[in-house]
Structure 1
Amino acid sequence: MTPHWTERCEEIRAWLAALPQVFIGSDFDGTLAPLQPNANDVRLPDLTRVLLQRLAACPGVVLAFISGRGLADLRRRVDLPGVLYAGNHGLEMTAPDGTTVLAPAPASAGSAVRQVQAQLTAALAHLPGVWIEDKHITLSVHYRQADEVRHPEVELIVRDVVCSHPDLEVRPARRIWEVRPAIAWDKGSVLRRFLDESGIPSNAAAFMGDDVSDFDAFRELPDGWTFAVGTDHRSDARLHLTDPQDTADLLRWIVEQRAAS
């Protein structure tokens, strides 16, 4: 079993004290904010927001949020200035000057996404609890609220529709099927880009996440600190966090340690 973060406090404390600059990255849903039956109802807890504000204000800390949500949606929910954001699993991100940058994708991917959206809307209409989130350059097919016996049917329909569009692919998330451009770009890719742009090595970085899509980010930090949130420890993370409240406890502890170093 992956150790709980409190079992490595001394090592993390020494790491924070030794580095003039550190990178702290995090997923949003299920990591900082508790999951809800409807993704539109997910909110960042007030205490966590205060802790993130304090962390962002610490000298030598680069703070980043990398989420499957659309970039505009993520920025609205976090609402912190002076930090880095990446939405759509890294397909859209903020540049160092704050402008939005899109990962390169086939020119036909946009029209293919619109076609798939129409096809899936019709093909999934008979399944209560399934809904499609339009994230402009991607789609999220949410099935958390659907009857569990229908989950395999949702996957079958999504894959069947998308397979006729070679510029698109299907990737799993937590009770979500992501429809996105078929390019070699993920949360790990944008994490690497953020590190390179910030001039921070991977051994001076930490990342926390709860979803299978976060595993790509974990693999980019073999010598950094990685934290898997939740009870499923089947990832490359070094340590685990129990839930978003535990994430808040870790953030509070990091702020205290960073302030003391």
Structure 2
Amino acid sequence: MGTLTEPTCAPLVAPPATLLRGASLFLDFDGTLAEIAPRPDAVAPDPKLQQLLPRLAEALNGRLALVSGRAVGELADFFSGLDLTIGGSHGAELRWAGDAAAPSASPGWVGEVLDAAERFGRDHPGVLVERKPFGIGLHYREAPDHARAVRAFAETLLGPGRTLQPGKMVIELRADDADKGSAIRAFLADPRMAGTRPIFIGDDVTDEDGFRAAAELGGAGVLVGAERETAATFRLADVAAVLDWLGLAAEEAGA
């Protein structure tokens, strides 16, 4: 018999609007709250999130966090004026709402591999090199023919303290001691969320660690997008469906 955390290809249904009652909610950003753009800096979140996220946080007594591969500071800039709990850099950065943002100390290897990555980007037009506090991203959305070359090059950058994280038209080199699942576990270990069911909504293979952690902790994952093998329990079709469902769930959670 399989376990709750084993991937499944079975058709997934939409989550019930009551799913957030007594829960803690964790939200991916790109592809979940905002449509994916050709470049990371071109993403434009729906303005309705400026009202929706505070509504959710209030309904859940503050048990709401963004969990993303983006840096904490970058996510905070997208939601200027909102004080959000954020797990950034695939869980390597954690910040609670109300806390000052601590400066991130990048691992030494990030600077060591950056020059080589930028040379690779110059030699492969359309490949975008993104520096992050705890790694780098090699985006090939505008150069899909370079996918195999990007993967092969990324493997040459592996070394102590780092691992590869494939995503949608991107391969990231990130710190190997944290992921989205570890971020959820860390938040749930805090008294502010302890004892609640974690619900994690995400769209990418980078979110599978979060789906598994949510299931193992008594909660559930919600996959955004097309059906695929996943550890999630529920599915929503796209970003618009996520925003609509969150609006309904906020009403139910606060009921």
Aligned to 2:120: 123
Aligned to 1:237: 232
Q: Does 1:155 align with 2:151?
A: yes
Aligned to 1:113: 110
The secondary structure found in structure 2 opposite 1:155 is helix
Gaps of 5+ in 2: 1-9
- Asked if structure 2 preserves the Cα contact closer than 8 Å seen for 1:91 and 1:102, the reply is no
Q: CA deviation at 1:61?
A: 4.4
Report the AA paired with residue 130 of structure 2.
E
Q: Does 1:2 align with 2:11?
A: yes
Against the structure 1 CA distance between its residues 102 and 25, is the aligned structure 2 distance closer, same or farther, given a 3 Å change threshold?
farther
Q: Does 1:174 align with 2:183?
A: no
**For residues 98-109 of structure 1, what are the structure 2 equivalents within 5 Å?**
98-100=99-101
Report the AA paired with residue 171 of structure 1.
Q
**Whole-Å Cα distance in 2 between the matches of residues 204 and 227 of structure 1?**
13
Task: Indicate the larger mover: 149-158 or 77-86.
Answer: 77-86
Normalized against structure 1, the TM-score is what? 0.85
Against the structure 1 CA distance between its residues 182 and 204, is the aligned structure 2 distance closer, same or farther, given a 3 Å change threshold?
closer
Against the structure 1 CA distance between its residues 128 and 115, is the aligned structure 2 distance closer, same or farther, given a 3 Å change threshold?
same
**Whole-Å Cα distance in 2 between the matches of residues 198 and 35 of structure 1?**
34
Q: With a CA cutoff of 8 Å and minimum separation of 6, indicate the structure with the bigger relative contact order.
A: 2
Gaps of 5+ in 1: none
Q: CA deviation at 1:209?
A: 0.3
The secondary structure found in structure 2 opposite 1:197 is coil
Q: Does 1:72 align with 2:82?
A: no
**Whole-Å Cα distance in 2 between the matches of residues 224 and 51 of structure 1?**
22
Aligned to 1:23: 24
- Asked if structure 2 preserves the Cα contact closer than 8 Å seen for 1:233 and 1:240, the reply is no
- Asked if structure 1 preserves the Cα contact closer than 8 Å seen for 2:137 and 2:170, the reply is yes
**Whole-Å Cα distance in 1 between the matches of residues 101 and 109 of structure 2?**
22
Aligned to 1:47: 48
- Percent sequence identity over aligned pairs: 27
- Asked if structure 2 preserves the Cα contact closer than 8 Å seen for 1:202 and 1:224, the reply is no
Q: CA deviation at 1:205?
A: 2.1
Q: CA deviation at 1:168?
A: 2.4
Q: Does 1:212 align with 2:205?
A: yes
Aligned to 2:84: 83
Q: Which structure has more helix as a fraction of its residues? A: 1
- Asked if structure 1 preserves the Cα contact closer than 8 Å seen for 2:184 and 2:214, the reply is no
Aligned match of 1:255 in 223, 233, 250? 250
Normalized against structure 2, the TM-score is what? 0.86
**Whole-Å Cα distance in 1 between the matches of residues 175 and 86 of structure 2?**
20
Against the structure 1 CA distance between its residues 158 and 118, is the aligned structure 2 distance closer, same or farther, given a 3 Å change threshold?
same
Aligned to 2:35: 34
The secondary structure found in structure 2 opposite 1:154 is helix
